[in-house]
Chain A
Amino acid sequence: MSHKKGDLKVYWNKITYAFPILNDNIFSDCTNAEYDEVQHIIVGLGVQIKIRDLVLIHIEKHLRQHVAPKFWSKFIKVNEDVRGFQLFKSAVNDLYEAVSSFSSMMCRLTILNNSCNDNKPIYGEKDVVLGFKQLVRATLLSQLPLDFQVIINHFYKISFNVFDNEYENSDMSEDIMCSGCGNEYADCNCAYIVKVFHETNRKLMDLQLLERLTGQVLTNFIQLRIESHIQKLCTGTFDVSHVGFLENWLDTTVMSWLTRIYCGGSSKPPPDDKNIQNAISKFKQKLRYFLYHSYTKLRIDQLFNIIIEYPDSQPAVDDIKFCLDKTDLRSTLCKKLQNALETRLLHSGVNTPDILTAYISTIRALRHLDPSGVILETVTKPVRNYLRNREDTVRSVVSSLTEEGAGSELAEELAKYTGEPEGDADNDEAWDEWNPDPVDADPKVDPKDRRTSDIISMLVNVYGSKELFVNEYRTLLADRLLAQSVINTEKEIRYLELLKLRFGEAQLHFCEVMLKDISDSKRINSLIHQDSSIEELNKEFVSNAMILSAQFWPPFKDENLELPDEIKRHLEAYTKSYEALKGNRTLSWKPHLGNVNIEIEIGEKKLDLTVSPFNATLIMHFQNKPQWSIEELHQVMKVPVTVLRRKITYWQTMGLIMEKGSDYFVLADETENKANVSANQVQEMICEDEETESVMASAHDQREGELQVFWSYIVGMLTNLDSLPLDRIHQMLKMFASQVPGTECSLQELRQFLDTKVRTHQLVLQGGLYKLPKTIGLR
């Protein structure tokens, strides 16, 4: 079959009439009937594949050179929202028009393609129209400019404002400005915006460009909205659970809104369009995760306050517990809470009892949050370390253990304790509820320990041993027993029993003996009072004694005091009577301990006071002689001058003694009446002040006593080697004195010890070298 050249030209004209793109044109008036003829020609010539490919190449070229650049040329950086809104709208409109203008040509191309019978995919798709859409997307995205999100941002910002307005501010009618579009109500164009918005979305959806172009912006906007909603809902209150509300809000409000974007305005997704349904459900999953994530984050930031308010804040803790399973925020939680604890709790401005209270509620709250105890362990490590360095931790714990009445959680906790918790049998039954420890658990710790240890043992474990606590309790008990003239022994015994349950019988044996000493003393007192020789003396005043078993009491502060003769006479008589009562035993008095009930008469006034033996002695001396210099008092009472000076202030504040000239004290007698008036008010305050001072040797003093063992070694060293630096002494002590049991001594402790020796002139420090002073050497 041959064709004339003229025929071919006619054919070509007809083909280009049907496919104007071959001449870089788009529009033609070619009708279906006309195309049938063209199709017939093409098939007759057998060039259908060539023509199809040629057309496709031309389409691609056209898209690349005209449509895409035109579309993207609208995506410029503008500052005004409205301008961006218009630009994006017109860009999408133009694109949509340009793409639709191809539709008639696409119909023809489909027919042409069907006649090719070669099953060659067109841009990866079987169908010409789908392939064309693919081509449009590919061409567009291949030219994606850098700042394409700017005007999209503007577009959605305006639209979302309108939506926000629609959903939430229905009652803001008094405003002049419409908060949706920012115009005055008179020319509010919200409705226009909504219309344009839905139309644009529908077009983008049609072009399958919605997700690629706007997905990021859309997600950001929705996330911002979720965040601000959570912020608005959840600040300040911890006693309501919010997760349910939030989930509900997301499902209804946010999702319906999202559906409208995807479905171009209708609030229900078209039931037959799987694509849209998939996109929406994917989006929903993403948003749900985001909701949990941002809620948990918010709560984690508030966790410190939540803990402080625990157990009132239990719902909030429940929420965190629930969300923590769904998000990956465990380590964030640990880090954040640890930071919060460190900045808000662990500094010198916070009282130890407050730290303890916070620690206790941390334990409670985190126990609830994470029953495995791993978070608790990680988070509270710095708290434990810090508490270990606080001097008064033990004292605070012990005193709050034994405190009575409300507010002392530890005392309640102690009373709750009933021996060993549930045995292993229960655990075996629950084998199918077993869960492995979380990944961040410390494998060296037995998980059972972590789970079962209760609050008190957690506190005790701050120090790693019960002994310190028991010792501290003993000291506190001793103070209490000696300070009170009337002792509630029953109460103390009850506490002791409770403590025994927890710390074990052996540890608290000493305390038991102490309590028994007190009750024995009462009996002995009444026995001795029946003694005739004492009866005589007791007509003046009653002398009692607290008789202690020295081995079982904590060491006493070593203080001296020379009592007035009449008192000494009484006590000697008491001793004699005691020796008679208990064969082969005698008493050694601690003259500075105890309490004295005295009555002071000043003219008309009578003061009834309970004071320490020291103060009683002092005022009795002033009764005999109204004027004393401090040196004389020192001679009579055998008390160091510094102590005298400190303690005499008691009577000074009572207005009974005045300092006339330096270190010279006189009795302020009737002449100073106005001072006496205030006496009663001051009294209470002073008595308290007196009580707070412990009569027991402090832990520090006890430690110094232990270090005393080294002293003879040190003296020996320095006698032989004349002078030594600190670390040399430390080394030599390690070498020679390490076998002395219980005397591990750090360099710092040694320095402190030697410094006290320097202060008491037993050592001389010269240029970093310790030396014995000359006088000792001569002796």
Chain B
Amino acid sequence: MKVTVKSWTGVATWRWVANDDNCGICRMPFDSCCPDCKLPGDDCPLVWGACSHCFHIHCIVKWLHSQPQQQCPMCRQDWKFNNK
């Protein structure tokens, strides 16, 4: 008997490679989206700061807009986007 696989359709779930499960601002899981968004993933991406903390991009942008100083809400260091 010889078995030949012609095609294999697997099922996978995607997740962000981050050092935490939830966004520190909106407390939603990273793999979900921020409260303002409907669709996760490409439409509601994560960003990492220089301090290695990460957030939903919409959350941190909103935060930065509302603050006089551009600081990470977790560690109070100056916020810089880490473009890795």
Contact = CB atoms under 8 A, between A and B. Distances in A.
B6 A547 contact: no
A590 interface: yes
Contact of B11 (A482, A512, A513, A541): A482
Contacts of B11: 482, 545-546, 548, 589-590, 593-594
Contact of A552 (B2, B9, B32): B32
Contact of B14 (A543, A585, A596, A600): A585
Interface string B1-45: 111111111111111111000000000010110000011111000
B1 A656 contact: yes
A620 to B, nearest CB: 5
Contacts of A516: 39
Which of A567, A584, A613, A620 has the largest number of chain B CB atoms within 10 A? A584
Contacts of B15: 550, 585-588
Contacts of A591: 10
Contacts of B39: 513, 516
Contacts of A602: 1
3 shortest A-B CB distances, which residue pairs? Answer: A593-B11, A550-B13, A587-B12
> Which of A543, A578, A667 counts the most chain B CB atoms within 10 A?
A543
B72 interface: no
B22 to A, nearest CB: 11
B46 interface: yes
A482 B4 CA distance: 23
Contacts of A601: 1-4
B42 to A, nearest CB: 8
A665 B17 CA distance: 43
A437 B15 CA distance: 58
A587 B13 contact: yes
B10 A613 contact: yes
Contact of B8 (A584, A594, A623): A594
A608 B38 CA distance: 41
B6 A598 contact: yes
A586 B3 contact: no
Contacts of B42: 582
B10 A571 contact: yes
B3 A623 contact: yes
A546 B1 contact: no
Q: Which of B11, B16, B31, B42 lies at the interface centre, i.e. has the most chain A CB atoms within 10 A of its CB?
A: B11
B8 A542 contact: yes
Contacts of A608: 6
B12 A590 contact: yes
Contact of A548 (B1, B9, B12): B12
Nearest to A570: B8
A588 B7 CA distance: 19
Nearest to A595: B9
Given A549-B41, A551-B31, A584-B46, A600 B2 contact: yes
B38 A509 contact: yes
A546 B11 CA distance: 5
Contacts of A582: 14, 41-42
A599 B6 CA distance: 7
A616 interface: yes
Nearest to A538: B7
A367 B2 CA distance: 64
Interface string A618-632: 011011000000000
Given A543-B9, A547-B14, A549-B13, 7 more contacts: A513-B40, A546-B12, A551-B29, A575-B12, A598-B4, A598-B6, A601-B2
B5 A623 contact: no
- Residue of B5, B7, B42, B46 with most partner-chain A CB within 10 A: B5
Contacts of B18: 584
Contacts of B3: 598-601, 616, 619-620, 623
A667 B14 contact: no
B11 to A, nearest CB: 4
A239 B18 CA distance: 70
A512 B38 contact: yes
A670 to B, nearest CB: 8
Given A509-B38, A512-B38, A552-B32, A547 B12 contact: yes
A475 interface: no
Contact of B40 (A552, A574, A597): A552
A587 to B, nearest CB: 4
A485 interface: yes
Contacts of A656: 1
A545 B10 contact: yes
Interface in A507-562: 509, 512-513, 516, 520, 540-553
Contact of B31 (A542, A546, A549): A549
A575 B29 CA distance: 22
Contacts of A669: 1
Nearest to B10: A594
A550 B32 CA distance: 8
A574 B3 CA distance: 22
A667 B3 CA distance: 13
A546 B5 contact: no
Contacts of B48: 584
Contacts of B29: 551
A597 B5 contact: yes
Contact of B9 (A550, A584, A587, A596): A596
Interface in A126-152: none
6 contacts: A516-B39, A541-B5, A550-B13, A571-B10, A589-B11, A620-B5
A598 B13 CA distance: 24
Nearest to A516: B39
A590 B39 CA distance: 22
A596 B4 CA distance: 10
Nearest to B2: A601
A541 B14 contact: no
B1 A549 contact: no
B27 to A, nearest CB: 13
Nearest to A566: B5
A144 to B, nearest CB: 89
B12 A545 contact: yes
A546 B9 contact: yes
Interface string A562-573: 000001001100
Nearest to B6: A597
Contact of A590 (B8, B13, B40, B46): B13
A593 B10 contact: yes
A544 B9 contact: yes
A544 B5 CA distance: 13
B38 to A, nearest CB: 6
A586 B2 CA distance: 34
The winner among B7, B15, B39 for most chain A CB atoms within 10 A is B7
B26 to A, nearest CB: 13
A608 to B, nearest CB: 8
Contact of A616 (B5, B17, B31, B32): B5
A553 B40 CA distance: 12
A656 B2 CA distance: 12
A542 B7 CA distance: 5
Nearest to A512: B38
Contacts of B8: 541-544, 567, 570, 594, 596-597, 613, 616
B10 A550 contact: no
A663 B42 CA distance: 49
Contacts of B40: 513, 549, 551-552
